[in-house]
Amino acid sequence: MASSSSVVSSSSSSSDKGSGRILLFDPFQSLVDEGFWHRLSSLKLDSLGLDQSPVPLTGFYAPCSHPKVSNRLTLLAESLPSDFKELQFSLERAHGNRNRCPVPGTLYNMNTFESFKALDRDSLLKKEAKKILDDIHSGKVEEDSAVLSRFFIISFADLKKWNFVHWLAFPALVVGPPAMVLNLRPAREVFNQGEAQSLSAALNEWRNSSLTTGVLYFLVSIASNSRATIRQLKDWNACQDDGQKLLFGFYDPSCRLDNPGWPLRNYLAFISLRCQDGKIQFLCYREKRGFADLGLSLVGEAVISSSKDCRDPQCVPKAVGWEPKPKSINLAESMNPERLAVSAADLNLKLMRWRTLPSLDLGTLSSVRCLLLGAGTLGCQVARMLMAWGVRKITLLDSGLVAMSNPVRQSLYTLDDCLDGGSLKAVAAARTLKLIFPAVEAEGVTLSIPMPGHPVPTNEVARVLEDCERLRDLIASHDVTFLLTDTRESRWLPALLCASENKIAITAALGFDSYLVMRHGAGPLYVSDQTNSLSTVDGNGGQRLGCYFCGDVVAPIDSTSNRTLDQQCTVTRPGLAPIASALAVELLVGLLHHPNGIHAPGEIANSIMSSSEQPFGILPHQIRGLLPQYSQVTLIGHASNSCTACSTTVVSEFRRRGMEFILHAIDHPTYLEDLTGLTELIASANSFKLDWDDETDDADI
């Protein structure tokens, strides 16, 4: 760039006569919006994890627009990349406007407060200042003057307490002796009327153009005819005509009349290194109500120079620019408690995804709809486990009332729920879930599940049919059904409906000191679109996994009548329900992450074909545990052609006859045995005789 130009002639004020005084600058101030910290939290949890690599960001500031209030550099939510893809592949600055001029910056976010305190701030400041000096030497500043206002921020985000500590720096190069100001006055006192009018018009046009409104540094040339022209820095050579008055203009965020704003520091370094040493004039551009204000704007005359060392591109410059002290902000109190609860609940899951399970699909977990049949010991535990895994849509179904014996074993009830005859279990459980976690979409449904072996009186037929229809609608509208009731026969209708709807079904059942947790296989599928037959073949071509009833050789019958007190209550070791409930939910999470979903094959612990490539390990079909031996085994059972719940015969008959079939099965349990061939199988087994040879050959002893 050339190095000679005329400057505006003006007389110095009495205080600035002679050799002048050291030019002082009004320090930059920052303002970090709450949205910035929310975006950083999401970015760290969803993308960055423990990565402490520098993150590009964009700050915003504009010319001062108030005589008593300086503008600040502002960080907003859009200052940060929105996601990992944008972080990796897009380093472009966020778009601004006339009130938000974009400035490039860098974020250094530390994982611990100790590492935040241990940062070498002097080295970081020099590193960022070197970037500015390199941009000056390379000519990048002429193309993108905003790099002169480059800034950076160091931070520590405590996402458990929502406390954020940060410290900003605005690196300012020290390239030579301090600049000496000879004159600093309001712009209206420097220009004649013609120059002032032309300059105001040119500045307003510059600010109103979408192409130049965000250009922070510019050149002002005033011809001998008082006509003012605004140009970008790359047009320096066009300003070299003899007789032109030249000023170096910039958007000044400061409101002070005795000092220019901080951005002028690096601008003077640029001018000294790329344009000229010696006496120069600068324009601190400020506004009022969106228009150029020459009464608030300043024109200054200064003498600048740079050292020989700083003209060397390899030079590591001295720099200043840290804000006086770090700042801390806590957003917990200002945040909605429900939003805080959601963030805290998701935190553990996102940390899991950082460290061990990058494929953990939190979106699937939060959107899956779970229906829990039974709101007793198992139902309460399963609901809690589901919420811990991030499941947000839970429906509980039960027909009972909360009894005095329930709260100590069933974690969603308190003594208050037992008073006045007891609250409805499903409703009370859903209410407690919302108290625990307000963001959960919990619903309680009071409904009795019709059961085989429990004949329906004539006056109850309409109600039972209505219950059957409602249960079918609930299962159809949910993605997963947990069978958590305390009798075998109460699981039959849900197992049949899940098989017919091809919905995921998971059963948990307890003995006194044993438990069973299993996932039902897929329901019978149509072999092809052209046929109307069902099959025992799975959708992937293999044999279907069985349901809870596939191992039975008798139909479910009434198991609740004529029982003693110990048989009327679920008598089981207290530790079994949490174990079985946790396994049931873990089984679901593994199934939701398996590429084959409900058609995933069953695996056992010593299987050579175990899903070692699956993030959650093997995916069992059945898990049976014995507490006395503290043992657990995984088993596989395939679908039975004689199953009273999921066989092709039963599902076909249900689809053909509908609720008439259900009523028939409820009133006549042996009907299911006759339909599936179990009656014939039992008769055949009873007729089979073994002939024992009672003679013993002494030679064989």
CA distance 498 to 516: 19
Chain center to CA of 388: 16
Model confidence pLDDT, tens digit, residues 324-356: 999 999 887 766 677 777 777 777 888 787 767
Model confidence pLDDT, tens digit, residues 514-539: 999 999 999 886 433 333 445 555 65
- Give the three-class secondary structure for 626: strand
Structure tokens at 141: 């500043």
Q: What is the four-CA torsion angle of 113, 115, 118, 122, rounded to 10 degrees?
A: -110
User: 422 — alpha (psi -120 to 50), left (phi > 0) or beta?
Assistant: left
Model confidence pLDDT, tens digit, residues 630-670: 999 999 999 999 999 999 999 999 999 999 999 999 988 78
Mean pLDDT, residues 61-83: 89
CA distance 430 to 443: 5
Above 70 in pLDDT, residue 9? no
Which of 315, 569, 643, 646 is flagged as catalytic? 569
CA distance 206 to 74: 23
* % of the chain residues with pLDDT over 70: 86
Residue type, 464: V
pLDDT at residue 513, as a whole number: 92
Model confidence pLDDT, tens digit, residues 101-118: 999 999 999 999 999 999
pLDDT tier at 236, thresholds 50, 70, 90: confident
Nearest to 219 by CA among 181, 183, 271, 173: 271
Mean pLDDT, residues 62-72: 90
CA distance 53 to 323: 22
Q: Is 221 exposed, middle or buried (0-12, 13-18, 19+ CB in 10 A)?
A: buried
Question: In this structure, are residues 648 and 499 in contact, taking their beta carbons and an 8 Å threshold?
Answer: no
pLDDT at residue 565, as a whole number: 43
CA distance 683 to 519: 31
Mean pLDDT, residues 377-391: 95
Structure tokens at 259: 């000092």
Mean pLDDT, residues 425-453: 94
pLDDT at residue 335, as a whole number: 65
Alpha-carbon torsion 379, 436, 423, 456, what sign?
negative
- Helix orientation angle between 425-436 and 377-388, rounded to the nearest 10 degrees: 30
Nearest to 115 by CA among 37, 52, 207, 26: 52
Question: In this structure, are residues 347 and 339 in contact, taking their beta carbons and an 8 Å threshold?
Answer: no
Above 80 in pLDDT, residue 674? yes
CA distance 238 to 232: 10
DSSP 458: G
User: Has this prediction a pTM greater than 0.85?
Assistant: no
pLDDT at residue 685, as a whole number: 65
CA distance 46 to 349: 10
pLDDT at residue 345, as a whole number: 78
pLDDT tier at 95, thresholds 50, 70, 90: low
CA distance 127 to 129: 5
Mean pLDDT, residues 428-433: 96
| Secondary structure of 531-547 in HEC code, one letter for each residue | CCCCCCECCCCCECECC
**DSSP H/E element including 30:** strand 30-32
Q: Helical H runs in 140-220?
A: 140-143, 193-208
Q: Can you list the pairs that 193-199 forms with residues at least 24 positions away whose Cβ atoms lie under 8 Å?
A: 194/226, 195/222, 195/226, 195/228, 196/294, 198/222, 198/226, 198/227, 198/228, 199/228, 199/292, 199/294
pLDDT at residue 87, as a whole number: 53
CA distance 593 to 358: 12
Distances, alpha carbon 447 to alpha carbons 4, 35, 373, 376, 500, in Å: 91, 45, 10, 14, 21
pLDDT tier at 691, thresholds 50, 70, 90: low
pLDDT at residue 529, as a whole number: 39
- Give the three-class secondary structure for 181: strand
Nearest to 156 by CA among 105, 118, 103, 104: 118
Question: In this structure, are residues 138 and 132 in contact, taking their beta carbons and an 8 Å threshold?
Answer: no
Above 80 in pLDDT, residue 318? yes
**DSSP H/E element including 345:** helix 337-355
* % of the chain residues with pLDDT over 90: 59
Give Dmax over CA atoms of the chain in angstroms. Answer: 138
Helices (H) and strands (E) in the chain, counts: 19, 25
Question: In this structure, are residues 430 and 443 in contact, taking their beta carbons and an 8 Å threshold?
Answer: yes
Length of the chain equals 701
Distances, alpha carbon 498 to alpha carbons 288, 495, 507, 600, 656, in Å: 70, 5, 12, 16, 16
- Give the three-class secondary structure for 425: helix
Above 70 in pLDDT, residue 427? yes
- Give the three-class secondary structure for 580: helix
Question: In this structure, are residues 564 and 570 in contact, taking their beta carbons and an 8 Å threshold?
Answer: no
Question: Which residues are within 8 A (CB) of 93 and not within 5 positions of it... i.e. 6 or more apart?
Answer: 58, 102, 103, 104, 146
Listed in order, strand segments (DSSP E) in 191-264 are: 217-222, 228-231, 245-251
pLDDT at residue 566, as a whole number: 46
Q: Is 569 a catalytic residue?
A: yes
Structure tokens at 9: 């002639």
Question: In this structure, are residues 57 and 75 in contact, taking their beta carbons and an 8 Å threshold?
Answer: yes
Alpha-carbon torsion 167, 172, 176, 178, what sign?
negative
Greater pLDDT, 606 or 552 = 552
Which has the minimum average pLDDT: 46-50, 254-258, 616-620? Answer: 46-50
**Cα-flanking dihedrals φ and ψ of residue 204, to 5°?**
-65, -40
